[in-house]
Amino acid sequence: MAGGQDIKSALVNWDGVHGLPDFAAIEDGDFNTAFAAAMPLHLAEIEAIADNPQPASFENTIAALELSGKALRKVQALFWHRAGTDSTPAIQELEREIGPELARHQSAIFMNDRLFARIEALHESRQGSDWTPEQVRVLEQHHKGFVKQGAKLAAADKHRLAEIDQRLAALAAGFGQNVLADEKDWILLLENQDDLAGLPDSLVAAMAGAATQRDHDGKHAVTLSRSIVEPFLVASSRPDLRQIAFDAWAARGQNGSEHDNSEIVAETLKLRDEKARLLGYESFAALKLDGTMAKTPEGVEGLLGKVWPAAVSGAANHAALLEEIAVEEGHNEPLKASDWRYYTAKLREREFDLNEATVKPYFQLENMILAAFDVAGRLFGLSFRELADVAGPHRDARVFEVRNRSGDVSGVFIGDYFSRSSKRSGAWMSLLQKQHRLDGGQIPIVFNVMNFAKPAKGSPALLSLDDARTLFHEFGHALHGLMSNVTYPSVSGTSVSRDFVELPSQLYEHWLTVPEILEKHAFHVETGEPMPQELLNKLLAARTFNSGFDAVEYTASAIVDMRFHQASHDSSSNLDPIGFEAQVLAELGMPEAIIMRHRTPHFLHVFYGDGYAAGYYSYMWSEVLDADAFKAFEEVGDPFDPSLAKRLEQHIYSTGDSIDPEATYTAFRGQMPTADAMLNKRGLAV
């Protein structure tokens, strides 16, 4: 990485509306020099804290640590946003280079003996201090973070741990770029009218747009964007084309080419295992679960083990009904994974008189954005105003000013909704800037990224019900960042344990299907008529339809993730990740017509960094909480009950990690829940 002393002003001087950066002034080539300058600046600040001649105090050590690295944080936030949403060859090259550099930088901080000595001294004296509960929590989290990053290791082990972290960063970058390459490069061109059999007009239009974007005017392209490939698998009456598309979707990252991720996964698992043992843990799973609500791998296995039999039973009953329909249509061969969504759509239409072509016209993207904003207004008093003249990080990105119930600007929300070849797949929330109150404080700048199919110019974007749920889910994450109300940035917003972070997002999904929200925002794209009560009743009645399939594909992924990270992977062993995956699924009795929601070679949650490594279970753990939390509103008969909404804001959406998650959930609900409410919600209660 090139050296340099100056950082381009636009990267660190965010002087736009409400403190936004000037996105248009930032070029790909600016980041290299910025990183080269920002990291030494941060280390100089760390050295000043470590060498402070005054005795360690909370202010001169912990608060100073919280504020350090401001320039680097800004450069990183902008870089990782661009790497995820508008990647280029130059950005990808720097991503491969900067990951190990940043890992080396972090190691230098966590393994600074003089800095850790100050933190250790404060940690030992915390019980007799007059610090606030938030300050004690912040100190304890810093101390644990330093220990888990090697602060107490011998010199040789520190050196080895730093090497491991640098290599893991490089492997993560390679993994993500391989998946992006497979998703970007693969298309299935449909040449004639027969190839479009069964497809709704909205999907045909989206596929025409995808073909045009790839220089195939006049044709239609199936891509590996979820917003195209999944509707295609649902609607296409061509089993041969469904099989081709499904195989490509399932095989991302596993194709024997230069983009194959098998070796990356194997090396990653070996290094993670070595890291955990260096730090004194039995497994990487034990390391990652230390400090979570689940606490141990056994706690996770207990939840997943309870759900799995009910999920398999529900899926088997569903599969039998699908096979009956297939036989009626003259297909006597065993049900295939590529057929499941197609026949499920037919079964849904038979049982509930529901199909995508009937439902989708009522879920316009624009209206669903307004619906998500409406719920936030009713529950929390927030209002959103689009700043149409303020440029976002991409021409498709939209910027919204957020005001609280007092009318003050309390944050900025950026929505980037459409798929493009330079954007990695999936949907996520992240922050350009966290809320905190130190040194004058700052408001949060939050963004949601989606991958909905972009409609033809002048046409509205239509969503499936699942798409609309995804929008609400990610907006729930956004609210967790926007509503944060803490003093210290390290515990702000979504900086919580992995198995708590999905609670605000999954809980928010419930409000999508609250009747008064659909009645207000679900209007037919052509007639402008509100969704008929009959259709709404059908949607609500079908909420648990196909839940066995959903639970199987998710739980299988969570179990494989846990087994990968509980196992011992000796550095000299010949680890075959794909074979390991197959072995675990065989032991579970995985239904043949269902695959993991995220197969190992494209499991971005787990291998594009370690954010959800040994943590994919957290969606279900949080679902136990969210089902119980929404039940509180059902019990009082008002989804917008003011008293409950106030407690929800106080104990769930605004506290960040300033309070232990179990304590703050109990403060909201009175006690911790069992899995029963979640199983009932899914229709899987036994």
Kindly report, residue by residue over 332-385, the tens digit of the pLDDT: 889 999 999 999 999 999 999 988 888 999 999 999 999 999 999 999 999 999
Specify the pLDDT at position 128. Answer: 83
Class of domain 9-152 as given by CATH: mainly alpha
Sequence-ordered alpha helix ranges (H) in 577-617: 577-588, 604-607
- Asked if residue 214 has pLDDT above 80, the reply is yes
Instruction: Break the chain into its structural domains and give their ranges.
Output: 9-152, 186-250, 361-541
Average the pLDDT over 217-241 and give the result. 94
Average the pLDDT over 157-169 and give the result. 97
Q: How far apart are CA 491 and CA 434, in angstroms?
A: 10
Q: Indicate the pTM of the whole model.
A: 0.92
Active-site position among 474, 509, 623, 649: 474
Q: How confident is the model at residue 52 (pLDDT cuts 50, 70, 90)?
A: very high
- Asked if residue 207 has pLDDT above 90, the reply is yes
The reply to whether 324 belongs to the active site is no
Specify the pLDDT at position 400. Answer: 98
Average the pLDDT over 150-176 and give the result. 97
Q: In percent, how much of the chain has pLDDT > 70?
A: 99
- Asked if residue 4 has pLDDT above 70, the reply is no
Specify the pLDDT at position 683. Answer: 85
E strand or H helix that includes residue 433: strand 428-433
Specify the pLDDT at position 456. Answer: 84
Signed CA dihedral, 209, 215, 221, 223: sign only: negative
Q: How confident is the model at residue 1 (pLDDT cuts 50, 70, 90)?
A: low
CB within 8 A of 611, min separation 6: which ones? Answer: 498, 605
Average the pLDDT over 599-610 and give the result. 96
Q: How far apart are CA 59 and CA 439, in angstroms?
A: 11
Specify the pLDDT at position 540. Answer: 86
Q: How far apart are CA 345 and CA 235, in angstroms?
A: 8
Please count the other Cβ atoms lying within 10 Å of the Cβ belonging to residue 44: 10
Q: How confident is the model at residue 421 (pLDDT cuts 50, 70, 90)?
A: confident
Assess contact for 242 and 339: CB atoms under 8 A: yes
Specify the pLDDT at position 686. Answer: 58
C-alpha closest to that of 209 among 236, 187, 239, 234 = 187
CATH fold for the domain made of 361-541 = Neurolysin; domain 3 (1.10.1370)
Average the pLDDT over 268-292 and give the result. 96
Specify the pLDDT at position 242. Answer: 97
Specify the pLDDT at position 346. Answer: 95
- Asked if residue 76 has pLDDT above 60, the reply is yes
Pairing verdict, β 445-452 and 409-418: parallel
Average the pLDDT over 616-632 and give the result. 94
CB within 8 A of 494, min separation 6: which ones? Answer: 429, 431, 477, 480, 481, 501, 656
